[in-house]
A and B are shown apart, each in its own frame.
Chain A
Amino acid sequence: AQSVTQLDSQVPVFEEAPVELRCNYSSSVSVYLFWYVQYPNQGLQLLLKYLSGSTLVKGINGFEAEFNKSQTSFHLRKPSVHISDTAEYFCAVSPREGSSNTGKLIFGQGTTLQVKP
């Protein structure tokens, strides 16, 4: 089984400051890792994903995340946030292979990023 823990429920930050949203996961098998963003009253959109290869992955809107296998973490970062980045962010995992790989995602609890002017 897999589980995902997002360590902060809310992260307030001033505009143009850097931000890190933390995500840790637990799994007995190898996983794919994802970050999704949800703007108010909308569905979820993919920010970035880690499938294999380089542990630093870049996504849309200037976000990036680093996969750390030894610490089972996949933290999301942005060097300078904008007001429009205010949203809820979800970390998610999916088993890589086997009969359990039906593509379903296991989500963390979500982190609300509040960017202040």
Chain B
Amino acid sequence: NAGVTQTPKFRVLKTGQSMTLLCAQDMNHEYMYWYRQDPGMGLRLIHYSVGEGTTAKGEVPDGYNVSRLKKQNFLLGLESAAPSQTSVYFCASSPGTGGLRRSPLHFGNGTRLTVT
């Protein structure tokens, strides 16, 4: 089983460029999340989704947009990249209501993004 797959693994952007990060999970999980990881700051939640067609803002949503058109996919978009968005981005999924008791968040291996 693949679990949670993130593409691409690495990307370098110039300021002002746009890109989309793709997260795909094959576990039929309801909930999906996008986090960013920065040194000394742990992981901070950007956006999340509790089901197909729904999204919600997390702790640091500014500068990002998301879409969950299909249950298995959660896309993170940067419309106009800024150097402050240089980070490692992690996608995660979980089964849904009550699922946290039975199963933890499953993480992808991350996307390392550099904005110059």
Chain A interface (Cβ < 8 Å from any Cβ of B) = 4, 6, 9, 32, 34, 36, 41-46, 49, 51, 90, 94, 101-110
Chain B interface (Cβ < 8 Å from any Cβ of A) = 4, 31, 33, 35, 40-45, 48, 50, 56, 58, 90, 92, 94, 96-97, 99-101, 104-105, 107-110
| Closest A-B pairs by Cβ, 3 of them | A43-B107, A46-B104, A107-B42
Q: Verify A90–B42 contact, CB threshold 8 A.
A: yes
Docked complex Cα distance between A46 and B45 (Å): 18
Q: Verify B96–A45 contact, CB threshold 8 A.
A: no
Contact of A103 among B31, B41, B44, B58 (CB under 8 A): B31
Q: Verify B42–A104 contact, CB threshold 8 A.
A: no
Q: Verify A109–B90 contact, CB threshold 8 A.
A: no
Minimum distance in angstroms from B9 CB to a CB of chain A: 9
Minimum distance in angstroms from A57 CB to a CB of chain B: 13
Q: Verify B40–A109 contact, CB threshold 8 A.
A: yes
Q: Verify B33–A109 contact, CB threshold 8 A.
A: no
Contacts of A45 in B (CB 8 A): 107
